[in-house]
């Protein structure tokens, strides 16, 4: 497959942007806080290098299997990021917030069902089975990720749970990219895939431009420090102390009952 100058420009820009983000995650010590997100960005750097050389020195079939294998790993890491973000939003003290765990599991199940339904309804005008697999698989992953991030944000608002700044920015970037990816994959399903389809080329450029925008957004936001946490007021301190005394009283009562 021949790459145009614009293709090479996007590839180089994406590679450098991911490297810059990986550098910020390391030097600003964000990698330890977001290991799965850091792993995803690392994978994007490695994938760019691997696919470039496979494209130039291997067959189209080898490129397909390499692309799809890395794509599965990409989706797996994105799912891990969903849990990573959810655990920080809904488990600020190491324990899931009340009634959030069951709601989150239900939202995940519904998201998978809806994504499978959309994929089943899609009928891309592709010439080979490889193109069908790539198109429908990409649509499934994009639909699933967009639903999960939107549902998670809605759940956090309804539960009135706080968002840490860096967590929010990562979720917002991936959520926006996933939503736009759904539209792009829907376009692929309608117009077809392949370098001979003008719409496919345009949509591919749009996807790369959107991803570059998300990476740039992460670079800026993750470079900045989070705003300082709100200090505990005296009223909150009194309530926490009263709750602790109440729990201790209940525990003493339970111990006394066990003795009898």
**Three-class DSSP labels, 48-76:** HHHHHHHHHHCCHHHHHHHHHHHHHHHHH
Give the highest mean pLDDT range of 101-110, 178-187, 251-260. 178-187
Say which residue the tokens 């989150």 belong to.
104
pLDDT in tens, 94-120: 666 555 667 767 777 777 787 777 777
pLDDT, the chain, mean: 76
Tokens encoding 239: 């309530």
Phi-psi sector, 118: left (phi>0), alpha (psi -120 to 50), beta: alpha
CA proximity to 29, closest of 212, 145, 190, 166: 166
pLDDT in tens, 141-150: 777 777 777 7
């Amino acid at each position: 497959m021949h790459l145009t100058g614009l293709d090479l420009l996007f590839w180089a820009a994406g590679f450098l942007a991911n490297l810059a983000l990986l550098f910020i995650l390391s030097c600003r010590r964000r990698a330890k806080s977001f290991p799965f997100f850091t792993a995803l960005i690392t994978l994007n750097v490695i994938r760019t290098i691997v696919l470039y050389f496979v494209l130039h020195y291997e067959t189209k079939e080898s490129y397909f299997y390499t692309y799809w294998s890395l794509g599965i790993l990409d989706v797996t890491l994105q799912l891990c990021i969903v849990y990573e973000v959810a655990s920080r939003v809904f488990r600020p003290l190491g324990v899931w917030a009340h009634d959030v765990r069951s709601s989150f599991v239900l939202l995940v199940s519904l998201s998978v069902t809806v994504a499978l339904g959309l994929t089943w309804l899609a009928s891309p005008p592709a010439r080979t089975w490889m193109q069908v697999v790539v198109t429908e698989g990409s649509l499934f992953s994009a639909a699933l990720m967009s639903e999960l991030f939107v549902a998670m944000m809605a759940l956090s608002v309804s539960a009135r749970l706080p968002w840490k700044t860096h967590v929010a920015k990562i979720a917002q970037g991936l959520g926006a990219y996933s939503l736009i990816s759904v539209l792009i994959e829907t376009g692929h399903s309608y117009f077809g895939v392949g370098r001979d389809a003008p719409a496919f080329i345009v949509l591919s450029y749009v996807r790369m431009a959107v991803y570059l925008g998300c990476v740039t957004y992460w670079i800026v936001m993750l470079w900045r420090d989070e705003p300082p946490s709100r200090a505990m007021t005296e009223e909150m301190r009194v309530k926490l102390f009263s709750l602790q005394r109440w729990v201790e009283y209940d525990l003493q009562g339970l111990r006394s009952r066990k003795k009898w």
